[in-house]
């Protein structure tokens, strides 16, 4: 029988990332295919740490030009006024549009920075086997995954303004080099969140099994069933 309340990998079980099928993989060095959806199957995303590091470092480098080069230039009556992401927010604050300023500040500055720092913390704590709160780390990962898309806000806004304010010599809005770098930061951090495998956080349990805050390995399945059904909630 399969023991509940333990790590699936210790029992050579793997859940397919695509279709959720659970399969038994007897040999860790063999290449498997999911019997249900025929996608490659492994215990963890192969090379997850290395791929995520590569994407995070590239995004961190591009974060500098994304914030120093102008993203948008408003040309009004022949006079150009280039704006970086930050000076655009300062302009909004001066114009008294605080909610919008906050929204843009959150989506364009806080979110990318939070993603880069958060993923770096997760990667370091896995590599150096830090004692972290695993549940909190998983919640942070899920948050990083969820908010990533919202950084596209500034780019969509620019693409709308570029066509909306296209009135020849009176007023034109042009894109700046910073927006290309910023777009790359958004895509790279989204890909990084995608290649990071959150199950690696819980593999740290193998160092200290006493920190497992669920039932101990080999416990009776009944106890786990009750624990699970307690968390059942209506889905809307």
- Which residue in 50, 81, 129, 149 binds another protein (CB under 8 A)? 149
- Which residue in 50, 81, 129, 142 binds another protein (CB under 8 A)? 142
# residues near another protein by CB under 8 A: 88
User: Does 204 participate in binding another protein (rule CB under 8 A)?
Assistant: no
User: Does 236 participate in binding another protein (rule CB under 8 A)?
Assistant: yes
CA distances from 29 to 25, 32, 41, 196, 209 (A): 10, 9, 12, 21, 25
Name which of 207 and 233 has its Cβ closer to another protein: 233
Name which of 124 and 139 has its Cβ closer to another protein: 139
User: Does 184 participate in binding another protein (rule CB under 8 A)?
Assistant: yes
- Which residue in 55, 59, 62, 104 binds another protein (CB under 8 A)? 104
The residues facing 171 across adjacent strands are 76
Paired sense of beta strands 22-24 and 13-15, if any = antiparallel
**Spatial distance between the Cα atoms of 182 and 179, rounded to a whole number of angstroms:** 5
Question: Beta-carbon neighbour count of residue 130 at 10 Å?
Answer: 11
Task: Evaluate whether 130 touches 43 at the Cβ level (below 8 Å).
Answer: no
Binding segment for another protein (CB under 8 A), chosen from 48-56, 112-120, 124-132, 160-168, is 160-168
- Which residue in 30, 77, 168, 218 binds another protein (CB under 8 A)? 168
User: Does 175 participate in binding another protein (rule CB under 8 A)?
Assistant: yes
Name which of residues 112 to 131 contact another protein (CB under 8 A): none
Ramachandran angles phi, psi of 132, nearest 5°:
-115, 160
Binding segment for another protein (CB under 8 A), chosen from 55-63, 78-86, 114-122, 141-149, is 141-149
Provide DSSP, 129-185. T----HHHHHHHHHHHHHHGGGGGHHHHHHHHHHHHSB-TTSEEEEE-HHHHHHHHH
Name which of residues 44 to 103 contact another protein (CB under 8 A): 92, 95, 97, 100, 103
Binding segment for another protein (CB under 8 A), chosen from 37-45, 48-56, 58-66, 122-130, is 37-45
User: Does 17 participate in binding another protein (rule CB under 8 A)?
Assistant: yes
| Secondary element (H or E) of residue 23 | strand 22-24
């Amino acid at each position: 029988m399969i023991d509940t309340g333990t790590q699936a990998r210790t029992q050579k079980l793997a859940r397919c990332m695509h279709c959720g099928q659970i399969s038994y993989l007897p040999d860790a060095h063999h290449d498997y295919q999911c019997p249900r959806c025929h996608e490659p199957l492994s215990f963890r995303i192969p090379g997850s740490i290395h791929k995520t590091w590569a994407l995070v470092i590239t995004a961190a480098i591009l974060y500098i030009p994304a914030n120093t080069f102008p993203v948008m230039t408003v040309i009004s009556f022949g006079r150009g006024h280039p704006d970086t992401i930050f000076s655009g927010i300062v302009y909004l604050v001066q114009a008294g549009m605080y909610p919008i300023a906050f929204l843009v500040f959150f989506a364009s500055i806080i979110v990318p920075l939070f993603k880069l720092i958060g993923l770096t913390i997760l990667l370091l704590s896995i590599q150096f086997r830090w004692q972290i709160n695993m549940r909190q780390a998983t919640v942070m990962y899920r948050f990083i995954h969820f908010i990533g898309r919202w950084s596209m806000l500034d780019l969509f806004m620019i693409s709308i303004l570029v066509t909306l304010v296209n009135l020849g010599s009176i007023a034109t809005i042009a894109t700046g080099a910073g927006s290309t770098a910023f777009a790359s930061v958004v895509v790279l951090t989204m890909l990084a969140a995608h290649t990071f495998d959150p199950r690696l956080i819980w593999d740290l349990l193998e160092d200290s099994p006493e920190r497992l805050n669920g039932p101990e390995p080999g416990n009776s399945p009944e106890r786990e069933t009750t624990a699970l059904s307690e968390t059942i909630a209506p889905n809307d």
